[in-house]
């Protein structure tokens, strides 16, 4: 790979129209690579009616922003998104392509890699420059082990990035150049049409954009006790999460599962109630700004990554905490 690495970062918008949290994280990851190896960061924002949002996003770390604003990209159907990203790669000729590990990103990323005849490293959580070569770290075996991937050759190093792996970049840090990208869609690129996107659950239950997440684990002992988690979440205006064990037991729906085989979140505050802190769960929330753990076991692994830990009976602590939050808000 040549000296200096030009990085292409893909940004996506959430249902609300704002950039997904992972979009800000990718700019942080890209600048980390460029600061270590040299080069430039180009942001590609995909969607329909997203020009203004793309401009704000780009100021958080891009040197150049390409806006692919097209009705055919509404909902980021895989074929259309793949066509847009393939076109952007042909125009910018990057050394590195960072794609969000979202539902959409996991669909169109392998399609683009296949079209280019290059490899794709999926679900990466760390990037580094090792002796002038880009390396990426990803978990395998259900989070039980980590592997390091080294990118060799002249093909673009393509990878999807696991949400919650990097800090979120803040807008206003740079003044990038902006341009539009015209995508010559072929009929096969438009075989699917986006009709509607409906969020699961209520607005406070959506995990992707929540500033606060309250999550429960097996320490709650039985499903009826999950009401303690819901009560605290309602008091804080937070989203509700759960561990895999809880979901597998049928206590909570799968969309609330956080961890290696569930959702990745990176809120400002993550409250873990009765969560032991298995590696498979931690990889889905360790990017949170602050982690508060409540567990009666002082040796629980969750305390190793917690910003603040409370050792004690959650059935006493959580109701008291909920009551205090409500008192403060009244």
Is the Cβ–Cβ distance between 144 and 279 less than 8 Å?
A: yes
In 10 A of CB 92, how many CB atoms? 18
When pLDDT is averaged across residues 251-276 and rounded to a whole number, the result is: 90
pLDDT one-digit tens code per residue, 190-246: 998 888 876 655 444 477 778 899 999 999 999 999 999 999 999 999 999 999 999
Question: Interior CA angle at 81 toward 79 and 82, to 5°?
Answer: 65
Q: Do domains 7-190 and 203-329 have the same CATH topology?
A: yes
CATH of domain 7-190: 3.40.50.620
Specify the higher pLDDT residue, 114 or 145: 114
- 195, burial (CB in 10 Å: exposed 0-12, middle 13-18, buried 19+): exposed
CATH of domain 203-329: 3.40.50.1220
Cα gap 98→36, rounded to integer Å:
16
When pLDDT is averaged across residues 58-79 and rounded to a whole number, the result is: 95
Percentage of residues in the chain with pLDDT exceeding 70? Answer: 95
The H or E element that residue 68 is part of is: strand 64-69
Helices (H), 44-150: 51-58, 78-92, 103-116
Question: DSSP secondary-structure letter at 189?
Answer: G
pLDDT of residue 3: 59
Q: Are strands 133-140 and 145-150 parallel, antiparallel or unpaired?
A: antiparallel
Number of H-type helices and E-type strands within the chain? 8, 14
Q: Is the pLDDT of residue 8 over 90?
A: yes
Cα gap 138→146, rounded to integer Å:
6
Question: DSSP secondary-structure letter at 95?
Answer: S
pLDDT of residue 44: 97
Q: Is the pLDDT of residue 142 over 90?
A: no
Confidence of residue 279 (pLDDT cuts 50, 70, 90): confident
When pLDDT is averaged across residues 173-193 and rounded to a whole number, the result is: 92
Q: Is the pLDDT of residue 163 over 70?
A: yes
pLDDT one-digit tens code per residue, 282-324: 888 887 889 999 999 999 999 999 999 999 999 999 999 999 9
Question: DSSP secondary-structure letter at 123?
Answer: E
Is the Cβ–Cβ distance between 12 and 42 less than 8 Å?
A: no
Q: State pTM to two decimals.
A: 0.76
pLDDT of residue 204: 41
Residue bearing tokens 């960061």: 41
Cα gap 143→136, rounded to integer Å:
15
Is the Cβ–Cβ distance between 183 and 142 less than 8 Å?
A: no
Instruction: List the domain boundaries for the chain.
Output: 7-190, 203-329
């Amino acid at each position: 790979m040549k000296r200096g690495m030009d990085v292409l970062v893909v940004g996506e918008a959430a249902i609300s129209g704002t950039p997904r949290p992972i979009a800000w994280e990718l700019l942080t990851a890209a600048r980390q690579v460029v600061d270590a190896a040299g080069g430039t960061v180009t942001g590609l924002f995909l969607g329909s009616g997203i020009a203004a949002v793309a401009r704000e996003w780009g100021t958080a770390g891009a040197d150049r922003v390409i806006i692919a604003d097209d009705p055919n990209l509404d909902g980021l159907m895989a074929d259309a998104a793949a066509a847009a990203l393939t076109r952007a790669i042909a125009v910018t000729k990057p050394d590195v392509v960072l794609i969000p590990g979202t539902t959409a990103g996991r669909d169109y990323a392998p399609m683009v890699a296949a079209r280019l005849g290059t490899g794709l490293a999926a679900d990466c959580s760390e990037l580094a420059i090792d002796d002038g070569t880009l390396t990426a770290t990803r978990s395998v075996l259900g989070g039980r082990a980590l592997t390091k991937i080294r990118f060799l050759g002249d093909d673009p190093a393509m990878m999807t990035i696991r949400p919650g792996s990097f800090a979120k970049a803040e807008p206003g840090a740079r003044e990038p150049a902006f341009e539009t990208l015209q995508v010559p869609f072929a009929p096969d690129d438009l075989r699917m049409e986006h009709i509607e996107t409906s969020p699961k659950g209520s607005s406070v239950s959506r995990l992707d954009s929540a500033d606060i997440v309250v999550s429960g684990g097996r320490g709650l002992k039985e499903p009826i006790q999950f009401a303690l988690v819901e009560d605290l979440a309602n008091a804080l205006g937070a989203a509700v999460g759960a561990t895999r064990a809880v979901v597998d037991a049928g206590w909570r729906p799968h969309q609330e599962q956080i961890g290696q085989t569930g959702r990745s979140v990176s809120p400002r505050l993550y409250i873990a109630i009765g969560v032991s802190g298995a590696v498979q769960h931690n990889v889905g929330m360790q990017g949170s700004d602050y982690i508060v753990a409540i567990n009666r076991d002082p040796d629980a692994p969750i305390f190793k990554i917690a910003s603040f830990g409370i050792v004690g009976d959650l059935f006493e602590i959580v109701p008291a905490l909920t009551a205090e939050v409500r008192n403060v808000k009244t």
